Amino acid sequence: MPRLFWVELQTRFGNQYYVKDHGEDGAVLDAINSVKICLERGGCQVVPGLAKEQYIWTLCTSILGGLVAGFASVPRKEGKVISIGFLALLSPLWGMLFGIFGLAPIISRTNDLLPLFKNGLAFTAAGIAGYILSQTLFSRYEKPKNT
């Protein structure tokens, strides 16, 4: 297993907060169980399991990515429902926030589908909220129509 695995193992199970919450025995046993799981798999690049702080970080980045996508998809011309051009233009930003920081840590550390579903739902809800929010915010700045 790479050096990064051992550093992450130490920082996850060896910090004072984890030891305070789970006790010294619990921290040692959890670290040993993580190493055991990785040895059974034939090695790991990262420590298996998703820490609470890590999941909160992935959820926050998914929400931020959804907001960016929602704001980017607001149409700039009348008669359009969505602006595919701006959505595509900003896709590296919201794609990295959602894909790399929101989903990849979950996929690489656990097989659970629930965190993936929650992050996908949070991304979608934030996208819709960003779209609606930007529609209401920017609607008052439109040019008056000649009648």
Tens digits of residue pLDDT in 97-116: 999 999 999 998 888 899 99
Q: What pLDDT, on the 0 to 100 scale, is given for residue 140?
A: 59
Instruction: Report d(CA 142, CA 53) in Å as an integer.
Output: 42
Average pLDDT over residues 22-51: 91
Counting residues of the chain whose pLDDT is more than 90, the rounded percentage is 61
The answer to whether residue 146 scores a pLDDT higher than 70 is no
Higher pLDDT, 28 or 51: 28
CB atoms within 10 A of CB 127: 23
Does position 44 have pLDDT exceeding 60, yes or no? yes
Task: Of 11-25, 40-54, 55-69, 78-92, give the range with the top mean pLDDT.
Answer: 55-69
> Residue 145 pLDDT > 70, yes or no?
no
Report d(CA 56, CA 71) in Å as an integer.
Answer: 23
Q: How many helices (H) and strands (E) would you count in the chain?
A: 7, 0
Say whether pLDDT at 51 is over 60.
yes
Contacts (Cβ under 8 Å, ≥6 apart) of 20: none
